Amino acid sequence: MLRSAGRLARHALRRFGIDVARYEPVPPHLRRRARLLSRFAPSVVLDVGANSGIYGRELRACGYAGRIVSFEPLPSAFEALSGVAAADGAWEAHPVALSSTEGERTLFRSGNSWSSSLHDMDERHLRVAPDSAYVGAEAVKTITLDSLFGRLVRPGERAWLKIDTQGHEDAVLAGAAASLPRIETVEIEMSLLPLYAGQVLFPELYAWLTDAGFTCLDLQPNLLDPQSEELLAVDGIFRRADGGTRAG
């Protein structure tokens, strides 16, 4: 009865050019992620490019109660991240950048913090997001996921890898080549047009993951150019068709 009444009300309002839709307090991309987290139930999420812990807090809001291992090289962001992680009994944080090699790199610090990168910023990115302009730089330690994986992911755990590294995604994947067969799900930000110098774009990253045995489950818009309406970046979730080999 209530559904019928609702349909009649919507139909009547449309005669006056008014459309009514159900209010959804949770954004579509978070609902989709929550659904996939619930379905695949990862034991541990590797949060690469954690900034101040926004993604980790979203995981908790989605109902994920498993372990989180975050990586963030920017000192100011890591300070905030470590405070959030310390208050959570299943969350640890490491002040390093994941890359293809171990060593030291220059991290360019952006005005908005989360656009900080190991790469120079493209003019397009700066035009679309002026608050992302670099305001400083500092040396940070880089390390590969392969060198850490055995210590961070316990035998039998189901691993979900999230990568949000502002143009450094391919290097993170290269440094995880040996670990990737033991990772079930990859969530990754991918640019369709250059936003950072030297970054690998969506077609190559998509092909790299599918060639590695992953299937794309979800793509969500991440960044739009308000002038041209071009889609500049997307967030993708990829899953191994075979579920991957459990860590061990």
Whether 246 shows a pLDDT value over 50: the answer reads no
Whether 4 shows a pLDDT value over 70: the answer reads no
Tens digit of pLDDT for each residue in 189-244? 999 999 999 999 999 999 999 999 999 999 999 999 999 999 999 999 999 987 65
Euclidean distance between CA atoms 188 and 205, whole angstroms: 9
Name the burial class of residue 2, with classes exposed (0-12), middle (13-18) and buried (19+) by CB atoms within 10 angstroms of its CB. exposed
Euclidean distance between CA atoms 191 and 117, whole angstroms: 14
Model confidence, pTM: 0.88
Euclidean distance between CA atoms 217 and 220, whole angstroms: 10
The CA angle 241-164-188, to the nearest 5 degrees, is 20
What length does the chain have? 248
> Which band of pLDDT confidence, cut at 50, 70 and 90, is reported for residue 3?
very low
Cβ contact 203:216 at 8 Å: no
Tens digit of pLDDT for each residue in 39-80? 999 999 999 999 999 999 999 999 999 999 999 999 999 999
Tens digit of pLDDT for each residue in 112-156? 999 999 999 999 999 999 999 999 999 999 999 999 999 999 999
Q: Which domains does the chain show, CATH number per domain? A: 26-240 (3.40.50.150)
Residue 132 neighbours by CB distance under 10 Å: 21
